[in-house]
Amino acid sequence: MNKNCNTFYLICVLCLPFFSCDKVDVTFADSANENDPNVSYHEDYKVNIETLKADSFVTSGHNVFMVGTHTNTSFGKISANSYAEIQFPSDNSLKSKNVVFDSLELTLTPNGNYYGDTTAPFKLSVYQLAEKIENEDESNTSFYYPRTFAYNPVAIGQTITTIQPNRKKEITIRLSDAIGQEWLTKLKNNTTEIQSQEAFTDYFKGICIATDSVFNKTLYYFASPDTSTIIRLHYKEKGATVVEKELAFKYVAAKQFNNIRYNFTGTPFASFSSFKKQVKGSDVMANKAYINNNIPCYTKITFPNLLSLKELYPFIKIIRAELEIKPSPGTYNYPYTLPSALQIYVSNSDNNFDGYVMDVSGSTQNGNLAFDNLYGENTRYTFDVTNFVTTVLNEGRFSTKAIFVGARSQLNDDETSRLIINDQQGQNGIKLKLYVLGL
């Protein structure tokens, strides 16, 4: 064998270990951290955002009267009326009494929540229902946002006022004297209409507190002044002296709900169909995703290139994954506010929520909203998505998991908020920051 052949065989023997097909087990030290020189940092990893709009939702049982209208270029026009069944008093204190009618008033108190310009005057109208608030299936006590009931076209009470929601000053609307006198007479004579709730509702089916969508520019949330009282019948009782008194009428909580109407014409939401759960990508939503607890809608987040990390690092550990969400600049100036807290969910292939995205300690998260009061550029929410990213990597190409982010409480009665998020093409776009230990 010549010298060249000997050299060739020697090289082959030396190279055999490098072409071995045996898998090498790699154990990562638990002490690895973001400052470890073996940890790679990936900023602005690929993120896709979409908007999910709910199909329908219940507005009954909130004990809040949502009334008004507001229009903006991002979410379109939102208008709301509120319906309620009135509860007759269980104790008839007017029976056989020498009483004289004074007035009938509906009272509401702003709960501090609003959507729009509070400096504009506000018009409230009260109408008497022409049909009872009930479903065909009487066991179904839920009422959804599109539901309406017919009412008589002539208002039984109306007022134009300026509302200062944070002062929570009681608003009074004087109702029809004719109705008030009729109620007092029936109570005094203890007629059949006030012998039971069913009899009273057959006689007086309820009320609709309505907005004027041409006049009004703001959406307000109201509560009853105390213990569900909404109407007061004022009267004078004659005796040795004349005493001014009142009889309180509450509303039936299960039969109080809000009808909400949307007009998305000329906005990114125009691409959605009514009464249908749908998801639309940022490419058809002006390169943005949206959260608004008055619609309600959520932002769907996926990381389409995660599995490419395994191509870079066959043996990988995610040290930390942080999702950073910054509001689109200029979208949360007065009269709009950001959600004080967000909720982050895990979803499946049907876009149904399967639970919360927990941080590495196993706790739920709210985004830890941080305000940049100087320039606004660093106003942001941040979420620890380390466990989520690790799970998706472990599941591989068969994973159907996604993240959904929404306001902490949809149709939140105490806070009306919105968040508009730019995709990675826009200023302050969404970010996924990854710290990876890989070999």
pLDDT digits (tens, 9 = 90+) for 280-323: 999 999 999 999 988 889 999 999 999 888 887 778 899 999 99
Q: Contact at 8 Å (CB) between 344 and 404?
A: yes
Asked if the model's pLDDT at residue 369 lies above 70, the reply is yes
Q: Where are the domains of the chain?
A: 26-54+277-438, 65-263
Q: Which residue has the tokens 């509120």?
A: 82
Name residues whose C-beta falls within 8 Å of residue 386's C-beta, 6 or more positions apart in sequence.
318, 319, 320, 321, 359, 360
pTM: 0.85
CA distance readout (Å), 424 to 283, 324, 326, 358, 371: 11, 12, 11, 24, 21
- Using the predicted structure, report yes or no on whether residue 110 has a pLDDT greater than 70: yes
**Amino acid 9: pLDDT:** 42
Residue 415 has pLDDT above 50, yes or no: yes
The maximal CA–CA distance of the chain, rounded, in angstroms, is 138
pLDDT digits (tens, 9 = 90+) for 134-175: 999 988 989 999 999 999 999 999 999 999 998 889 999 999
CA–CA dist 259, 381 (Å, integer): 32
Percent residues over pLDDT 90 in the chain: 71
421 and 289 Cβ atoms separated by less than 8 Å: yes
Q: Alpha-carbon dihedral of residues 378, 384, 389, 390, nearest 10 degrees?
A: 150
Percent of residues, the chain, with pLDDT higher than 70: 91
Greater pLDDT, 29 or 97: 97
CB neighbours (10 Å) of residue 359? 16
CA distance linking residue 331 with residue 293, whole number of Å: 15
Which CATH code of 2.60.40, 2.60.120, 3.30.700, 3.50.50 fits the domain covering 26-54+277-438? 2.60.120
Euclidean distance between CA atoms 71 and 60, whole angstroms: 24
| DSSP classification of residue 31 | T
